[in-house]
Amino acid sequence: MVRHVTITLESRGVACRARLLDDDAPATCAAVWDALPLSGDAFHAKFARNEVYALLPRIAAAPRRENPTVTPIPGDVCLFDFEPWEIGNPAYGYEPGSAAHAELGATDLALFYDRNNLLLNGDVGWVPGNVFATVVEGLAEMAAACNDLWRHGFAGERLSFARA
């Protein structure tokens, strides 16, 4: 059975629909599906390029590596699993008390909306993400909203993931 999630930039009122890649990333899909709905402050990537993401409390059931990539393409939806020490660096700019500083670590759910992405962080090196879904509807509208997020700021914006 094909499953979908809706990814929404709440303040901008823009959403897209993504198909879960159950055959390629079954454990990641199951972990995310079981955790839905999820919502968090939206961030635009600093290193990866064309990525919008939410940092959330760690999804404990998420696997470490499954269908990984360091070169996501437009429409890829990825899960990143972080230990507490990996993203707590003050240079990253996450507020004290946020998911980035959680004792158990954090989960990053990310949408890549355009090309030429490279998951390389100068502090830690390669940062592979588990590709668990692909956008099948609304990518152009979401990409325009993500570009607006980049150009005009993400303060106050929330990114949500829900079963479709």
Q: What is the DSSP string of the chain?
A: ---EEEEEETTTTEEEEEEE-TTT-HHHHHHHHHH-SEEEEEEE-SSSSSEEEEEEE--TT--S-SSEESS--TTEEEEEEE-HHHH--GGG-PPTTSGGG-TT-EEEEEEE-SS----EETTTEE--EEEEEEEEE-HHHHHHHHHHHHHH--TT-EEEEEE-
Amino acid 124: pLDDT:
83
Joined tokens for residue 49: 């390029």
Amino acid 85: pLDDT:
80
105 has a pLDDT exceeding 90: no
Q: What is the mean pLDDT of the chain?
A: 93
Amino acid 104: pLDDT:
84
Question: What is the number of structural domains in the chain?
Answer: 1
- Could you tell me the CATH number of the domain that includes residue 129? 2.40.100.20
Distance CA 42, CA 93 (A): 13
Domain that holds residue 57: 4-163
Amino acid 21: pLDDT:
98
Amino acid 36: pLDDT:
98
37 has a pLDDT exceeding 80: yes
